[in-house]
Amino acid sequence: MSQQRALCTTRKCGLAQTTLTASGRRSFGISRHSPIPRTQVLRKRQENDVGIVCCRSRFSTISFNDPIEYQGIEGVEPLALYEPGGYHPVMVDDLLHRRYRIVDKLGHGGYSTIWLAHDEQTRRYVALKIGISGQMLPRREPSILRTLSQSVSSSGQETTQELHDASTTLPEILDVFNVRGPNGIHVCYTKTLAQGNLKEASFSRLFPIEVARLLAGRLALAVSLIHSRGFVHGDIHLRNVLVKLPSSIDELSIGDFRKTFGSPETVPVLRADGEPLPPNAPSQAVVPLYLGRMAEEFTADDARGLILGDFGEAFAPATEDRLGGDCNTPVAMRAPEALFEPDTPVSYSADVWSLGTAIWEILGMGFIFDESASMDEIVAQQIDILGAQGLPQAWREHWERPQWEELVTETEVTVPRRPADGDREAWPPLEQAFEVFVQRYRREQEAMGVFGEEETRAILELMRGMLRFRPEERMTIQEVLRSEWMTRWALPRDG
């Protein structure tokens, strides 16, 4: 089904109208009697908070049997990862830790599933993240977030408005506990419930121009805070950027919540061979629920509620190395040094590159590079848009190597190579790309606002500084905050 057809397909579900999204998942309109604002739209999406589902090799299991194959279900987590070392099987209405009632699913990622839960002690809704049981990154994220939170609260003399604004952009960890299940022991933690991510909100849509400026400024402040505390986020893209929900949602009982937003959408889990399910897997899969507004409905208050989530890839360069080949940022958002030098550690500058691509996407309706393209094609687009003059000589030699020559690094990662002539169309240079990918759509939707000539110049200057090929020549996050566009258009309007 085409995106256009899917977006127009609707059906009824309880008291809410359900719309199938471009990916075939459901979307909910809100009851007129709901205490939540009418524009708080809900719809089903595959990803929330933790970003793109990653390949299975990102963690190892202790299973001694061949992987079980399941019948495919669109929009849910990889069912084969319900095995020792993998996901914890969860069912709607389960009670975890004797206090968290599972209401619906919010999303999934390579390291966790994320659930909407009702805390029966505090009578509030929370986001409950349940990590895989493998001894890897799920145990790091709550520790890093708490370290960041403590470093902000103990900063003492640093009481600037900028620090205050930045401190509100980090997720708040409410509780951390373990759950034991058939696949092992899983680290779980709860966070303040948020709307869906900006990627879902902006699907084929534009943010109002003032909102776009605010979102970009606050995202830059979030990265600044993280870097100032000695951490690299390591996975900046709009699927990991959320917006706070109004507290009025806590006024709904679970029954009222489902009357308003519809019941969870569940699909039976079936093995491909028809055999009975093992205890490792749930009997039903839950299609994720998206809580959020559409981009054109965002307000300045929404933008001020921005939260940068998913610290599962975060690290401290002073105490640990993260090689480029181990970078799991989606390729279209990944800094080029991680592609061309996979055996070399990446650092803060990699975040700045990813932040630049995220800001571009916030300002326009699409990504600066083609997210569906191969690594080779994406690098070709980077060279088209940014120019080849800044490409380091060693990278150029790797890029222009003969088609028959393979170049694989010590970590067995292939280095990008220029696609064969005639295999692709050239992309426009930066100025023209901004006109074609950003301004054209804003002119077509004039109510969303168009960037003026002076502001466009400042934006392009910022993009050139953030998207330099050589990481040592790239702007630091503090230079980003001091840039003309940030100081004149993005940050002054935050407050």
DSSP E strands, 263-305: 266-268, 284-286, 290-291
Q: Tell me the average pLDDT across 97-111.
A: 93
Tens-place pLDDT, residues 126-138: 999 999 997 655 5
Give dist(CA 229, CA 240) in Å, integer. 20
At 161 the pLDDT is 62
Where are the alpha helices (H) located in 175-236, listed in sequence order? 198-201, 209-228
At 15 the pLDDT is 26
Q: Which of 4-8, 68-72, 164-168 has the highest mean pLDDT?
A: 68-72
Residue 72, classified by CB atoms within 10 Å of its CB into exposed (0-12), middle (13-18) or buried (19+), is exposed
pLDDT band (50, 70, 90) for residue 260: confident
At 104 the pLDDT is 97
Window from 1-5, 395-399, 432-436 with minimum mean pLDDT: 1-5
**Is there a binding annotation on residue 191?**
no
At 417 the pLDDT is 93
At 160 the pLDDT is 59
Mean pLDDT of the chain: 84
Tens-place pLDDT, residues 388-397: 999 999 999 9
Please check the confidence at residue 253 and state whether its pLDDT lies above 90.
Answer: yes
Hey, what are 475's tokens?
A: 């702007």
Q: In this structure, what are the phi and psi dihedrals at residue 379, rounded to the nearest 5 degrees?
A: -65, -40
Q: Which of 193-207, 249-263, 348-362 has the highest mean pLDDT?
A: 348-362
Window from 49-58, 97-106, 212-221, 250-259 with minimum mean pLDDT: 49-58
pLDDT band (50, 70, 90) for residue 422: confident
Q: Please indicate whether residue 377 or residue 410 has the higher confidence score (pLDDT).
A: 377
Give percent above pLDDT 90 in the chain.
67
**SS3 state at 458:** helix
